[in-house]
Each structure stands twice: as C-alpha cells, then as structure tokens.
Amino acid sequence: MIQENVPLKKFNTFGIDVSARYFATFSNTDELTECLTQNAGYRSIILGGGSNILFTKNFDGIVLKNEIGGIDLIDEDQDHIYVKAGAGENWHQLVLYCIGRNWAGIENLSLIPGNVGATPMQNIGAYGVEIKEVFFELEAYSIAEKKVYTFSVNDCEFGYRDSVFKNRFKDQFVILSVTYCLNKFPKFNIGYGAIEQELQKMNVKELNIQSISQAVINIRTSKLADPAVIGNAGSFFKNPSVSRQTFTELKNNFPNIIGYDNEDGSVKLAAGWLIEQCGWKGYRKGDAGCYERQALVLVNYGKAPGKEIYDLSEEILQSVKNKFGVQLEREVNIR
C-alpha cells in the first residue's frame, strides 16, 4: 500500500526529520513492480536500513523500503557454505546467524548498521575485511527493464566503499538478494591492530570467530556512536588516498600523519586524524556535531536539520583542504 506524506525520521539512522511525498514497502519483485508502475513519473529512492543516507530536504517522490527477507543455505562444498540472504535482512542479525553455525568470513564485519542490500552497494568494510572477499553473487532488479539480473563479483566492480551501483548503474537497480561464500574452516583476520589488543584484553586463549566478533563489537561500541542513541551514519567521509610523493611531503610537515600503503603504491590517509588535527573532534553547533570519540563520524544530537549536518561537512572539507591540501570525499549519500 502506498502512503502519502510519511515522516522518515525513524527510517534514517541520522534521525533527520523529513518526509516523503509517497512511501511504500515491498517484500518481493511483484510488489516492487507494482509500486514502480503506480508511481511511474515520480523519482524514487530505495531505502534499506537508512544507515548511509543524509536527507537535506523533504523527498518529493516515492521512498520504497526494501523488506525482502529470507536466509537460506543454498549450496556447500568441502570448504564453503553458500548463504543467500534477502536484501531487507538486517546485516548484523545475519552475521550472528552465521557465527552461530560456525560459518566464517564475516565476523570482522559485526555490528555494522544497515541491511544486506547495502553490503555490496558500498562494499562495506571494517577491521581488515571487505564484503567483496566473501561475496559470491547478487540478484538485482533493473528498474527500466523490470527484469532480474545476476551480478558476479566482477560485474559489481568493487572498490574501496564503492561498486558499480554507486557509479555507472546508480539508481538503476534494486538489489534483491546477496549470496555470500563463507568458510567452514576459518581464516582468522586479526591483523588490524586494535583487534589483537582487544583479544588480549578479553583474555582469549584460543582464537575463534565468536571471540573475534566480540572483540569487534567491543571496539565499535567504544569508538562509534550507536545510532539508537545519537543519530549518525558511521564514517561520513572516505579515507582519501594520495600518491607516495605527496605522502612523503605531508609527512615532512606533519610527522604524526597516519597513512596505510595501498596495493597500487599510493597511500591511504586516516581522514579521522586529519579532521581531528583541524580541531573539529567534539565540535558542536546546534544539534550538528563531529563525534567526540571518532572525528570521521558526524552526529545529530537530536533535532539537527540535514542541511546543518551537510554545512558542517562542507566546513570540515574546506578546512582539511586548507591545512593539508587533501580533498575529502563524502561516503554518505546526500539527498
């Protein structure tokens, strides 16, 4: 059923108080087709968990909330389990489901807000793991052709927080389901500094995916803002990459700058560090702020209009550019 003038506050983790001219949920492709047909001519947004979007104004079109459910073991071989999940399933619930069955590969991605459909969209990543490493295939619905396509890992053109669905195919497909290839025999990934420390603190003697998941949960809850308490969409910016030469120059001027080597020889900078050095960490103007424990996270303390958060992000972007000559890029979708 299509509703009119629907408040979106509870459908976006920033908690921005805007409304949609039309709103509907869908649980299968028939319902999706019906919504799109009835509202042909209107702009549409497909919403999952609403955890990577900043609304800066009311949306004068139709918001379609993806509620396609289901978690199925569809295949297995000696080493792998193939799990297919509906795009509307909550991501962390899926992680817990898999961990409970000892299916490994996504434990480092515990507690990331949002739904399954968003995981390939922005190639979610945390603590040394990206979704592309366990991705098998996905099904997506072409809005123009009203037809379902299967995308392999190559078709998705994954990059750092990036995929074909944010670029060439932006707003053209609705992700329906994702199939992950998980491991029966875990390959532990604890290279990311903070994990090992946390495991020691937890006094873990024998490594398993349950304890890695718990370590990640502990780190995330200590650094990142819980959207149920303070509105936010995780990292607001991407970590920018610069050439090795630029990094060397920056390092001369700012000896403490944090950089990680990329495979192609460039260096990825910690945007949180850059932003903190510009004095933004813990900054608050009205209800818009830069989170006190992680400068990469912008927050809504209650009633901030999306525009104020956007304006703050613009000021941050400018000051990082002025101080370091580095251009930040937003990770969150602005609407």
- Which positions touch ligand EPU (CB under 6 A)? 126-127, 223-224, 234-235, 238-239, 258, 270, 272-273, 276, 281, 294-296, 331
Shortest distance in whole angstroms from residue 216 CB to ligand EPU: 9
Query: Rounded to an integer, what distance in angstroms lies between the CA atom of residue 183 and that of residue 129?
Result: 14
As measured in angstroms, the least distance from the Cβ of 82 to ligand EPU is 26
Q: Catalytic residue at 331? A: yes
Q: Which of 51, 107, 161, 177 is catalytic?
A: 161
Least Cβ distance, residue 140 to ligand EPU (angstroms): 22
CA atoms within 13 A on the CB side of 237: 31
Contacts of residue 289, defined as CB under 8 A and 6 or more positions apart, other chains included, come to 282, 283, 298, 299, 300, 301, 312
* Single-letter amino acid, residue 309: I
20 vs 29: CA distance, rounded Å: 22
Separation of CA 328 from chain center: 17
Q: Which is nearer to ligand EPU, 308 or 331 (CB)?
A: 331
Residue with Cβ nearer ligand EPU (47 or 298): 298
5: left (phi over 0), alpha (psi -120 to 50) or beta: left
Orientation angle between helical segments 209-223 and 193-201, nearest 10 degrees: 100
CB closer to ligand EPU, 181 vs 296? 296
Strand partners for 288: 285, 300
Query: Cβ of residue 158: shortest distance to ligand EPU, in angstroms?
Result: 14
Residues 163, 213, 235, 313: which is the catalytic one? 235
- Residue 235 falls in the annotated catalytic set: yes
Give the CA distances from residue 332 to residues 122, 234, 238, 320, in Å, rounded to whole numbers and listed in that order. Answer: 10, 8, 9, 18
Q: To the nearest whole angstrom, how small is the minimum distance from the Cβ of residue 325 to ligand EPU?
A: 19
CA distance 103 to 30: 32
Bridge partners of 182?
A: 81
Cite the active site residues. Answer: 161, 235, 331
